[in-house]
Amino acid sequence: MTLIVVMEHQASQGAVDALIARLREMGFDTHLSVGVERTIIGAIGPKRPEYIQQLGAMAGVDRIVPILQPFKLAGREFHAEGTAVQVGAVTIGAEPLVVMAGPCAVEGEEQLLKIAREIKSAGAHMLRGGAFKPRTSPYSFQGLEEEGLRILALAREQTGLPVVTEVVNPRDVELVAQYADMLQIGARNMQNFTLLKEVGKTQKPVLLKRGLSATVEEWLMAAEYIISGGNEDVVLCERGIRTYETETRNTLDLSAVPAIKHYSHLPVIVDPSHGTGRWRYVTPMARAAVAAGADGLMVEVHSEPEKALSDGAQSLTPKNFQQLIEEVEKIAEAIGRDARQNVIGVQVNETQ
């Protein structure tokens, strides 16, 4: 049984502590959410109807609401206010739009540092790049692994851009966390529950991509694994789902953005690069994503897409990325979201 206990507006800390203690005596796991107006306690435990009456009689309790949705911690029933996730000096889920950009794969130090400087100059807030690359074919480039992580950390040092990169193996979570500011769970691993549990134990923010054929509920349940493990800093990423359409790599489901906003308090960003698979469609879909209410974008950028070792066909050149930034800024401004406000406020080493 899952319950939300809403405390009275002026409930004392003693009343809150007493209620949590009683819930734990009853065998419930508890999650405390302190808002501006109300304190809410989420509780998951045994299904005993009499417990609701007993808890309702305690001092400071306003009402008790059973949760019917399967995603308890990721849903708005427990956490009505939107969550903002801090990644370095960047906030995802607040008013300013966040743009993550970079190559699909880290191919070398010179390549990545060049791209990192170019995307920062264009207005990106975070650097993305794959060090571990799970590929459909075992013969495709699989990434530079720890050397790639080292290069990403060097790029952060030189530009000040926080780094997001994918972790593939549960055994590598600690290693990737040593270098990255944010851990990415890729689409193919969205339901790798062992991996989700591992990142749930870390203190690093997690970017959770939607699976290739996952429903919104399955996606939120994957987030539930991470949050229930103790890590509440989860950002969702819509990156397209598999349909019968062949013109694009995937079908970018922008209706998922308002759906997530309705059901969940977690921030949601959109990846139009994987969502379309073709660079000429990336900017139009990025504009649409911002208009739909996305908290940010993840865009693949490569200085020489024709030579890219991974996903060159969907990568923008730095020039085209600059154009994307200029266009989405107009959309963001029109809906009251300024992409330029989310500035990097850290010391930067400009050594090149």
Residue-wise pLDDT for 114-130, tens only, equals 999 999 999 999 999 99
Residue 304 and residue 177 share a domain = yes
Write the CB contacts of 39 (distance below 8 Å, at least 6 apart in sequence): 7, 11, 16, 32, 33
Q: Is residue 349 part of a domain?
A: no
**Span 292-314, mean pLDDT?**
96
Per-residue pLDDT tens over the stretch 101-118: 999 999 999 999 999 999
Asked which of 29-33, 274-278, 280-284, 297-301 is least confident by mean pLDDT, the reply is 29-33
The single-letter DSSP state of residue 272 is H
pLDDT at 146: 93
- Output phi, psi for 280, to 5 deg: -70, -15
Q: Is residue 36 part of a domain?
A: yes
Containing domain of residue 287, as a range?
Answer: 85-334
Instruction: Look at the block and give the residue holding tokens 């530009």.
Output: 159
Q: Is residue 348 part of a domain?
A: no
Residue 268 and residue 191 share a domain = yes
Residue 93 and residue 51 share a domain = no
Q: What 3-state class would DSSP assign to 53? A: helix
9 or 206: whose pLDDT is higher? 206
DSSP 137-194: STTS----THHHHHHHHHHHHHH---EEEE--SGGGHHHHHHH-SEEEE-GGGTT-HH
Q: Is residue 346 part of a domain?
A: no
pLDDT at 77: 80
Residue 209 and residue 309 share a domain = yes
Residue 19 and residue 55 share a domain = yes
Q: Position 262: which residue type?
A: H
Range 143-147 contact pairs with CB under 8 angstroms and sequence separation of 24 or more: 143/105, 143/106, 144/105, 144/106, 144/107, 144/108, 146/175
- Output phi, psi for 83, to 5 deg: -95, 140
Residue 107 and residue 255 share a domain = yes
Residue 238 and residue 160 share a domain = yes
Average pLDDT of the residues of the chain: 92
pLDDT at 141: 65
Per-residue pLDDT tens over the stretch 160-218: 999 999 999 999 999 999 999 999 999 999 999 999 999 999 999 999 999 999 999 99
pLDDT at 345: 39
Residue 170 backbone class (left: φ over 0; alpha: ψ -120 to 50; beta: rest): alpha
Residue 267 and residue 162 share a domain = yes
Query: And the tokens for 154?
Result: 């060097």
Q: Is the dihedral of CA 59, 62, 66, 69 positive or negative?
A: negative
Residue among 183, 189, 116, 203 at smallest CA distance from 151 = 116
Residue 231 and residue 107 share a domain = yes
Counted domains in the chain: 2
Residue 99 and residue 57 share a domain = no
DSSP 325-349: HHHHHHHHHHTT--TTSS---S---
Last residue of a domain, one of 34, 66, 98: 66
Q: Residue 26: which CATH number?
A: 3.30.70.1140
